[in-house]
Amino acid sequence: MKNQFARLALVSAALLAASTTAYATPITDVQDYSNNTATEYFVDNDSNKTNRTYWRDKDQDWGWTHEAISGSSFSSIILDISAYDVDQPQELDMISIFDGSDWVNMGNLDGSNQSWDFTTFDLTSYSWAESQVNAGLQVRMDIDTSRSGWYVTLGKATLTIDGGNQQCVPTPGVPCTPSASVPESSSLALLGLGLAGFGVARRKQAKKS
């Protein structure tokens, strides 16, 4: 009977290990002022939102790249972009993402007059999204595509995989906070199967004795 328990333990451990390697750990990659490169213009704090270095117009388009995130079979891939003073529906600031061979237009930033707002882009259903997340998701912005004199400032961009591990607000200069870690449903299910196996084995042992 001890050997049976040992085999069940080994099987459960193997299944859990397979689960954790097949799926990415929930993670949120944050791109903001703290990791700007020479060609990125996320603003450092709210007081500088109309500083012309960051408050940019039709001839000052730019983009950024998220950190590469390993894993597969992502349950969700969400990109949130924080922007200031996007006057919808007149203002059109197009967001595009590189799919490995070309740039795909995802839509325009949303927002309100003189406020910070997140625009959410759900990439989960795109066949190329997972491989691009693995490689480092490339994003770019075409400011004021209608060339009507609109300006926009970006505060941060968050790439959230499988629910993420941070919670963020759109206002720049406000650090994201850790999310409570929740075990993946697949891992919990496998753990449950293992425990159920132990229970069955124990009942059989009790009947024999």
Low-confidence ranges of the chain (pLDDT < 50): 5-6, 8-13, 15-22, 182-191, 193-195, 198, 200-201
How much is the pTM? 0.77
Tell whether 193 and 106 lie within a shared domain.
no
pLDDT for position 180: 74
Q: What is the C-alpha to C-alpha distance for residues 177 and 30, in angstroms, rounded to an integer?
A: 11
The span from the CA of 175 to the CA of 167, in Å, is: 9
- Cα gap 44→32, rounded to integer Å: 8
pLDDT in tens, 53-110: 999 999 999 999 999 999 999 999 999 999 999 999 999 999 999 999 999 999 999 9
Q: Are residues 127 and 36 in the same domain?
A: yes
Residues 49 and 6 in one domain: no
- SS3 sequence of 133-174: HHHCCEEEEECCCCCCCCCEEEEEEEEEECCCCEECCCCCCC
Same domain, 142 and 171: yes
Domain that holds residue 41: 24-182
Are 14 and 80 found together in one domain? no
**Residue 113: which CATH number?**
2.60.120
pLDDT the model gives residue 177: 96
Considering the domain architecture, whether residues 4 and 84 belong to the same structural domain is answered as no
Pair (198, 141) in one structural domain: no
Number of domains into which the chain is organized: 2
Question: In this structure, are 77 and 145 located in the same domain?
Answer: yes
pLDDT for the residue numbered 134: 98
CB 134 within 8 A of CB 98: no
Strand 153-161 vs strand 166-167: parallel, antiparallel, or unpaired? unpaired
